[in-house]
Structure 1
Amino acid sequence: MNRHEGGPLTRSVNVERLPQGRGAVTVEATQAECDALARDFGIPAIRDLVGRFDLDGSPSQLRVTGSVEAWVTQVCTVSLDPFESRVVEPVEVDFTSADQLVGTDAEDVELPDPIVNGRIDFGALTAEFLALGLDPYPRKPGIAFEERREDEAEKPFAALARLRGGARGPE
């Protein structure tokens, strides 16, 4: 997974300053950060975004587990109505110091994410897992896509034939 610096939500933490062995980090996004993320994600709104992370390991090898939760407003792909829903996305990511990744072939193994300059951006991690939790084809609760069957629907060119007075074109 690619964590980038400088997005709308950043909380860069120096892992060497965390308690040795175990620790916790909580990211609570401001409404301005939620609004910026909603624009980035192309959805109407995000509110109450929180990432809760438990840390286990050392400053050079760290396992991060937890969850990202938020209320999001998306647009229904069937009715086109906006609706609000709760997103809860589990998080489980391994990090290692960037110098331990040198010379490793990414095609051979699933590589841990890098700890860059002794830091992890838990804001970017929160934003990324929120994005993963968004439904790419959101449907408002109670809305179902109803497919029209050929025998129930008018044939595609029937309306054209009526407009032409039932006359057929050249054969």
Structure 2
Amino acid sequence: MTDNAFGPLSRPFPLHRVTPGGVEAPVEATAAENQALAVDLDLPAIHRLEARYRLTGRSDRVEVTGRLRASIEQICVVTLEPFPVEIDEEVEIAFATPDPRRKREDAAEVELSADEDLPDELVGEHIDLGRITAEFLALGLDPYPRRPGAAFDTPDEPVAEGPFSRLAELRPKQDDR
């Protein structure tokens, strides 16, 4: 993605609006944002990009859950032609403010289950839902997209002759003896 601090898709959501009961937050990219994000992700086109999020928690810890849907084009690794792709990604991410009382040494002692990630750090008074949308779109892309039905055609190559194949022709055959 780009070095721009906000990226081509930015939707700052104020932390003071987050409640324990949750709040809904939709994100729909404009045509210009789709075009800029397509350039960043090296895609021929993004036709539609939308996400629906639910933010729950408090201002010091926020859970973001939802779903991202997109209609894009990717380049087939076989035919090198663009083809349409539908993306449908589930989003689940947690944010928390750093605990100033916790020392660095204590961080190594945190026990997590296999399904649990450490929360991302909350910085400032906003969560950028646009950046989350762009990141989960990037995660949902197939790194080796292949158009349905596309297959590599392997040409029938003659068996490569070894360095001594010409000598084999000179050797007398069994019948000649």
What TM-score, normalized to structure 2?
0.76
CA contact (8 A) 2:19 2:56 kept: no
Alpha-carbon deviation of 1:24? 1.1
Distance 1:74 1:97, change over 3 A: same
CA contact (8 A) 1:5 1:121 kept: no
Distance 1:156 1:66, change over 3 A: farther
Distance in 2, matches of 1:124 and 1:17, equals 18
Q: What's the counterpart of residue 59 of structure 2?
A: 59
- SS of corresponding position for 1:21: coil
Q: What's the counterpart of residue 136 of structure 1?
A: 143
Q: What's the counterpart of residue 173 of structure 2?
A: none
Map residues 10-159 of structure 1 onto 2, 5 A cutoff. 10-99=10-99, 103-104=103-104, 105=107, 110-146=117-153, 152-156=156-160
Distance in 2, matches of 1:101 and 1:37, equals 39
Q: What's the counterpart of residue 170 of structure 2?
A: none
The residue identity in structure 2 corresponding to 1:113 is D
Distance in 1, matches of 2:76 and 2:101, equals 42
Distance in 1, matches of 2:54 and 2:16, equals 15
Please identify, of 54-63 and 14-23, the stretch whose mean Cα deviation from structure 2 is larger.
14-23
Alpha-carbon deviation of 1:68? 1.1
Alpha-carbon deviation of 1:101? 9.2
User: Which structure has the greater CA radius of gyration?
Assistant: 2
Any gaps of 5 or more consecutive residues in structure 1?
A: 159-165
Distance 1:157 1:107, change over 3 A: farther
* Superposed CA RMSD: 2.7
Alpha-carbon deviation of 1:97? 1.9
CA contact (8 A) 2:18 2:56 kept: no
Deviations 1:4-62 (A, max 9, x none): 83100001111112344311111100010000000001110002100111122112111
CA contact (8 A) 1:97 1:118 kept: no
Alpha-carbon deviation of 1:142? 1.4
Distance in 2, matches of 1:99 and 1:26, equals 30
Distance in 2, matches of 1:49 and 1:18, equals 24
Distance in 2, matches of 1:157 and 1:107, equals 63
State the identity as a percent: 42
